[in-house]
Structure 1
């Protein structure tokens, strides 16, 4: 079966539109925190920037729980083996819970040292440690959400993740408002609100997965071999993601040393970037599911056709989002109650964020396609190479100046390097491995 442009468009939309809603809801968790915590002052906003970077790093490092599960489950769906697809999903959930518990045990005592690494001032550091420690208690639920999302996406279901994400976001917003602004719990209330919302979201995914397992007569007990296989398969994606997070963590560390206003502005810009990245990733998520299923069914022509369509859509989508950022650049600082100093730092950075969106749209699509194909080893090597391209440019901003715009220009160099490495790979045939 070949994929016509119209059929390809319908299939992409069927998966990408609900994925868009779910993906946008995820960064809105932290954006709501920023909008509410911003009312507590610049120090609290800066603290959330530091702790939020650590938590986002944790989620992104463990995103292989979603991406790897999506690819492996989708490939088994394409091969016609639904029980094996569900079994791999169950193994992924057990792996997620185990990693989450380890994160709590290791991260709690190390929280002050982690915050100190960013070089934050004492008024920022104390609040950052508070937020980080409370949020770490939700790590098992947070990672279970990632794995559960991957299971359903691999099964070609993006509607259920949308429903769970929207419900969790709404609950998070209500709890943050009540705990921070009404009850006066401060930054701790923001953390507790997010933890509760994540726990209920994880419970919803567990219910859906248990039903699927019973329907296909798949055992729910932990399978050491299956969990080990899921972890081993995710190692290369882990390397890829660690490299991506090194880039953003280094950027936050450089911004921290510029001053409180620069840190707060960078924190807001990073959240805007993350929100846009999740929005752009909707097509990439469709790419993971479509590529895994098509290659599992042995259909190379369909994979190629879908890839071409999604690249074009990613480019156009990026142009639209970049235009939205430019149109709203004057209003965005007000959403976070930014003072004059933060506003002055933020506005020029938003220009860079907007210009990079078309490039990001293509990069994210190609990344998703190669993840769906299971081309993990190449992605790991390519990520390491592009990180080495970025680090000298970012670290030079401190001694040579240029401020936040120069720091974000270094991020643009990194994105250009990713486009080259991913584009060359997608043009070839080495990643087109078929079968279950």
Structure 2
């Protein structure tokens, strides 16, 4: 992909990756605190939080284009030395987040109850989930402002401030949550309100950062339309992930309680390690976008090769580590003998896939930084519909259990690896210019 002389200092990569990992990990850690607090209210509030939280995560994950798409556009402008224009992309992404967030807020008040009842059936769990979701989605504009803020700051290679902002917001929420739930007596609603307070603080800090930059704050519909164009491809890509992962969970549940529990344990570990590896992808996205914006395709290709090797090495290290933990670690999550007996059917797929995941996630970051979202969309959809989904449902039909489900995931990851390596080798992704549109018309 590049010559050895195109390498950049490793410390520059990790100076971006480590704070980005902190931002990625902050929300899951807060969710653990929230779950621990609400868990003492009883089974119904906890189940309501689980259902409402899953729906909230599903919705917000479909809108991550406000982060990743904004980083791609901002990084090119930053690399071209056009910082004001780069930050201006963040302004427009913020307006877009506010608009989409208001629509979600209004929809939540109308459809929260029917959707919860559709998933859980009429009853107290659905009622609790709907109540929590209505309050939580009042923060939708705030969450999307934070996503946009993360996006433009990553683009200008500042991952330290987003970490501080997110930690302050989540830290306040973590303190307020037990207070609102118990001494204030607000129960499950107190959890959602605490979350809302933290989101308000984080979003306010990101807005203040934009104001300090002294760039025009007026909305520009033409820029927002361009951002939505890139966002469309990223939304379709994310939707493919969600369909696959929900299908896997559904098939595991239909296979049996022990298989579902074992799948949950291994899947949560997979998700956690994906966050670790994704931090490297975020660094790649920012650095590749800046290199292409500065007009240096060789530098972008050098960064791509370097980050890909880092991903491979990290993946191998993680694979070796979790191979060594194959016996003691599952016992931390469950003492049920039947569940522990099922875990190995998924565990060794999980271990062997780590090097593949390291390379795939690194190249995801490279192509996102290059604005090559259309190719990522197509590659992900093909990998999902050719590899993952058929294998998952065949596993249900023929009783292949967790081995079949995780074979499907393996096929999905290997197909993605092949398509991404072919694209990387072609070099067609390395289009220079302050924006991808300018580059295409140059």
Report the TM range for the smaller structure's normalisation. Answer: 0.7 to 0.9
Alignment of 1:8-27 (within 5 A): 8-27=9-28
Deviation of 1:320 (Å): 3.4
Describe the shift of the 1:269–1:105 C-alpha distance in structure 2 as closer, same or farther (beyond 3 A).
Answer: farther
Q: Which moved more, 1:66-75 or 1:186-195?
A: 186-195
- Distance in 1, matches of 2:338 and 2:49, equals 15
Match of 2:8 in 1: 7
Deviation of 1:139 (Å): 1.2
SS of 2:353's partner is helix
Match of 1:285 in 2: 282
Which of the residues 408, 411, 414 maps onto 1:410?
408
RMSD (Å), alpha carbons: 3.2
- Distance in 2, matches of 1:135 and 1:312, equals 40
Match of 2:238 in 1: 241
- Distance in 1, matches of 2:123 and 2:328, equals 31
> What whole-Å deviation, never above 9, does each CA across 1:251-278 have from its counterpart, x for those lacking one?
3343455567766665565444333222
Deviation of 1:431 (Å): 0.8
Describe the shift of the 1:255–1:169 C-alpha distance in structure 2 as closer, same or farther (beyond 3 A).
Answer: farther
- 1:306 aligns to 2:303 (yes or no): yes
- Distance in 2, matches of 1:139 and 1:293, equals 30
CA contact (8 A) 1:49 1:267 kept: no
Alignment of 1:268-279 (within 5 A): 269-279=266-276
Deviation of 1:119 (Å): 5.8
Q: Which moved more, 1:152-161 or 1:55-64?
A: 55-64
- Listed as ranges, the gaps of 5+ residues in structure 2 are 435-442
Q: Which moved more, 1:126-135 or 1:193-202?
A: 126-135
- Distance in 2, matches of 1:131 and 1:268, equals 26
Describe the shift of the 1:272–1:288 C-alpha distance in structure 2 as closer, same or farther (beyond 3 A).
Answer: same
Count of residues in correspondence between the two structures: 430
> What whole-Å deviation, never above 9, does each CA across 1:116-169 have from its counterpart, x for those lacking one?
554669565444334333322221111111100001011110111111222233
- Distance in 1, matches of 2:58 and 2:269, equals 16
Describe the shift of the 1:2–1:120 C-alpha distance in structure 2 as closer, same or farther (beyond 3 A).
Answer: farther
> What whole-Å deviation, never above 9, does each CA across 1:182-237 have from its counterpart, x for those lacking one?
6665544433332322221111111111111x1xxx21122222222222232222
TM-score where L is the length of structure 1: 0.87
Deviation of 1:7 (Å): 3.0
Deviation of 1:50 (Å): 3.7
Deviation of 1:304 (Å): 1.4
CA contact (8 A) 1:8 1:305 kept: no
- Distance in 1, matches of 2:32 and 2:58, equals 16
Which of the residues 356, 362, 381 maps onto 1:384?
381
Q: Which moved more, 1:316-325 or 1:132-141?
A: 316-325
Describe the shift of the 1:128–1:405 C-alpha distance in structure 2 as closer, same or farther (beyond 3 A).
Answer: farther
Match of 2:130 in 1: 129
- 1:419 aligns to 2:420 (yes or no): no
TM-score where L is the length of structure 2: 0.86
- Listed as ranges, the gaps of 5+ residues in structure 1 are none
Describe the shift of the 1:125–1:165 C-alpha distance in structure 2 as closer, same or farther (beyond 3 A).
Answer: same
- Distance in 2, matches of 1:209 and 1:115, equals 37
> What whole-Å deviation, never above 9, does each CA across 1:48-86 have from its counterpart, x for those lacking one?
444333222222211110111111111011112122111
Match of 2:78 in 1: 77
